[in-house]
Structure 1
C-alpha cells in the first residue's frame, strides 16, 4: 500500500506508543506512526478491529466542508486526504469496495433547495466540478434509483467515493502487522495515568508502560480518559443502517443525501444501503451510561425505522419497492456541540493525545485524523492546523451531561428538525 506521508524518521524508532481503539481512526493512527518511523506500536482493542462503529459505517467520503459541516479549510484538507488515501489503496489493486461515483445532495422542494442545496453550491470549499442538477438530470444520472418526478434539484460532487469500511480497515490492519505493529485484541483498558516521563496503562490483562498514548476509542473515549480528569463533550447516539436484498443496481450510482428526510442512501454490491437520522437514539435517553464494547443490537429500533420510513422512501426510490431487509447493523457515532472534530493533547498531560468527535464523518476524516494523531504524539508539525480541533476549545465543565450536549445541537433540540445531516458513513 502506497505511503501518503513523508519519509520515516529514525529518531522515533525507540518510542513505545500505544493506540487505544482499532476502529478506522485508531488503525489509521497506528499505520501513520509506523510510516513515520515508530517501531514499537501496540494497538489495544476491546474486541476486534472494526468490530464496533467502524464496521457499521456506510462508507462514503466527500467534501463535507462544502456547505454541510462547519469544518472550514482544515476540514477540507482532511477530507481530501481521506479521498486520496482510499484511492491509493484502490490503485494498488486491493479490494475495498471502492466506487468513485460522487455524492448527490438532493432537495425535494424549492425550500429544501434554498436551505440545504444552495449552501453546498455556493460554498467557497465546493470543488470547481460541483454540478447544479435539475430533477431530470438527477433521474438520468441515477439510472432508475430516483424517480425524478418526486424531487426538485440537487448538487452533485463528482469527487465523492464509496467503500466498504471493514475491507478498508482490514487493509490497514494487514499493513500494520507487516510493519511490526502489535494488536492486543480482546483487551479492555481500565485506566491510563500520565507520569510525565511515561504513561501507565491498566487493562484487564495486566499493566504496562509506554512513552505515549493515542486514545481513539470512539464512544468509549471518556471511559478511557476518566482517570485523567478530562471528559470530552460527546453525545453518543445509536444509529442504524439497513441493507436490502439484491435489487440489481449498477455499481456506478452516487451516494444520495437528502436533508429534508435526514436520509443517506447508496448502492452496495447491487443492493440498497440506507439510514435516516430521524430514528437515531441518543444513549442518555435509554438510561444506559455504560455501553458494551462492539455494536448495539436493538431490533426494535431497526424495525421502527424500516416500518415508518419505507413507505415514503419507496415513492422516491423505486428499487425499494418490494425490498426486504437482508442485513442491518448499528453503531455509536458521537456528536460534539459545535459539530467539530476533536484531536489534540489531553489538557494537563504531555504524553496523551485524544481523537474523536466524528459527528458521523469518521470514515471521511479517519485517515487524516490518524495522521494528525501520529504527528502530535511524535512531536512533529501537523500537516493540518489543529487549532479548531483542540480539546480545550470546550471548557472543562461546560457540558455536565449528554442531555446538555443534545440541547446544543439543532438535530436533537428540535429547533431544526432536519438538523445536521445524517451521514452514517
Structure 2
C-alpha cells in the first residue's frame, strides 16, 4: 500500500502542516522538520486572520481546488474540535473594466457560486464603511470569510502528530539529496533517509533549493490594524474585503471586535534578500499608502494604526504557484510561490502533496500550476 512510505515534510507551516496531516491520515510514516515550530510568525503565516473566498480574482481554474479545500477545512475543524474558519462573506470591489473583476464574475458564472452584486446605493446602505467610485462594482462572495492562520497550522500539525507523525522543531534542513530510489534529509544533527520528501519552506525556498529553475521573488509585507470611528465595521455583517484597483488592498475586521486589519499587494513591498534577516521595523513613510487608502475608501478608520506586523511571501512571475515534482528528482514534491493567495487553498494543497508523494499523481485539476513542463523563467 502506498501509505506505508516514509515521507519527510520540510517546513511545517502553511502548506507543510496540512501535508503532514493528509499524509499521516493515509498511514504514511511522516517526519516533519521546521526551523522554528508550527504556528510561528517569522515567515508567511502570521497576522491573526487570512481570507477564505470561493470566487477567485486570479484564475477561475482555482475554483475546483477551493471547493476541495472547503471540504477539508470542515473536516479538519471536525476532527480537531476547533473553529479555524468563520464564514462572514467577502466583498470584492473594483473598476468594472479591470481584469480581476471580470475574472471574479467569470468564476462565479462558471461555477454557480453563491454571490450578490451590489450597486453603489445598496453598498452605501448595507456597508456604509466602504466607499466606491463611479465605474466600480461590488460583489459579495457569500461563501467566504476569515481563517485563523497560526491556530490552523498548530492544529493541523497536532492532528498529524495524533495520527503518528513526528515533528522535529527548531531543526533547519540544510540539504535534500538523492539517495538511491529515495531522498536524504540532512540537518545539523545528522541525516535520515526517506522514500519521498515534501518541500514547503516558504520564503526559504531559494536558500534550500538554489538551483531551482524558476524564480521565487520573496517580498516583505506589512499588515496594519486600525480602529473604527463608527459602529458600521462591527454590525451584523462583518465581511472581509478586497479592492482590486487603483491600489490593490485587502482587509478583515478583527475577531475581537476592536480593529480592522489592512494589507497591500506584492508591488508595494520591498524584496527580501535574506529571509533570516527580515527587517521587522516599519518606518512611518511606509504607512503613507495605507493612509491614502483610508482617506479615499475607508474614512471611518482612524488613520493611526494601533498594531503593525511584518511577514514574508513568495511570488512567481505568473503569480501561479509551483506544485509538483522537483526537476530531476521525482521523489521531491515542491509547493512554493503561492503569491499571496495560498492560505485558503492550504488543505487542498496538502492533500495534493500527499497524492504526489505517495502515488506520483493527483486526481485534482492542477495542470495549470504543475511543475511538469512548466515554461517559466
The answer, yes or no, to whether TM exceeds 0.5 is yes
1:48 aligns with 2:37: yes
* Residue 136 of structure 1: aligned partner: 121
* Residue 254 of structure 2: aligned partner: 268
C-alpha displacement of 1:317: 1.7
Aligned pairs for 1:14-413 within 5 A: 15-38=5-28, 40-51=29-40, 52-56=43-47, 58-65=49-56, 68-70=57-59, 72-73=60-61, 75-90=62-77, 94-96=81-83, 98-107=85-94, 112-115=95-98, 116-123=100-107, 124-125=109-110, 127-142=112-127, 144-147=128-131, 152-226=136-210, 229-245=211-227, 249-250=233-234, 252-260=237-245, 261-269=247-255, 270=257, 271-277=259-265, 279-283=268-272, 288=273, 290-292=274-276, 296-300=279-283, 303-321=284-302, 324-379=304-359, 381-395=361-375, 399=377
User: Helix, strand or coil for the counterpart of 1:138?
Assistant: helix
Segments of structure 1 that go 5 or more residues without pairing to the other structure are 1-9, 400-425
* Kept in 2: contact 1:48–1:186 (CA 8 A): yes
Deviations 1:320-350 (A, max 9, x none): 13x5423222222111122212111112113
Question: Quick check: which one's strand share is greater?
Answer: 2
C-alpha displacement of 1:355: 0.8
User: Could you tell me how far apart the structure 2 residues matched to 1:388 and 1:119 are?
Assistant: 16
Alignment TM-score, normalising by the size of structure 2: 0.88
User: Could you tell me how far apart the structure 2 residues matched to 1:183 and 1:367 are?
Assistant: 18
C-alpha displacement of 1:106: 1.0
Of stretches 87-96 and 324-333 in structure 1, the one that deviates more from structure 2 is: 87-96
User: Could you tell me how far apart the structure 1 residues matched to 2:82 and 2:132 are?
Assistant: 33
Deviations 1:114-151 (A, max 9, x none): 21434422444453433221112223333x42246889
The alignment of Structure 1 onto Structure 2 pairs a total of residues equal to: 366
User: Could you tell me how far apart the structure 1 residues matched to 2:285 and 2:134 are?
Assistant: 24
C-alpha displacement of 1:187: 1.0
C-alpha displacement of 1:43: 0.9
User: Helix, strand or coil for the counterpart of 1:186?
Assistant: coil
Alignment TM-score, normalising by the size of structure 1: 0.78
Distance 1:26 1:93, change over 3 A: closer
User: Helix, strand or coil for the counterpart of 2:318?
Assistant: coil
User: Could you tell me how far apart the structure 2 residues matched to 1:328 and 1:126 are?
Assistant: 37
User: Could you tell me how far apart the structure 1 residues matched to 2:58 and 2:355 are?
Assistant: 24
C-alpha displacement of 1:198: 2.3
User: Could you tell me how far apart the structure 1 residues matched to 2:138 and 2:212 are?
Assistant: 42
Distance 1:234 1:176, change over 3 A: same
Distance 1:47 1:146, change over 3 A: same
Segments of structure 2 that go 5 or more residues without pairing to the other structure are none
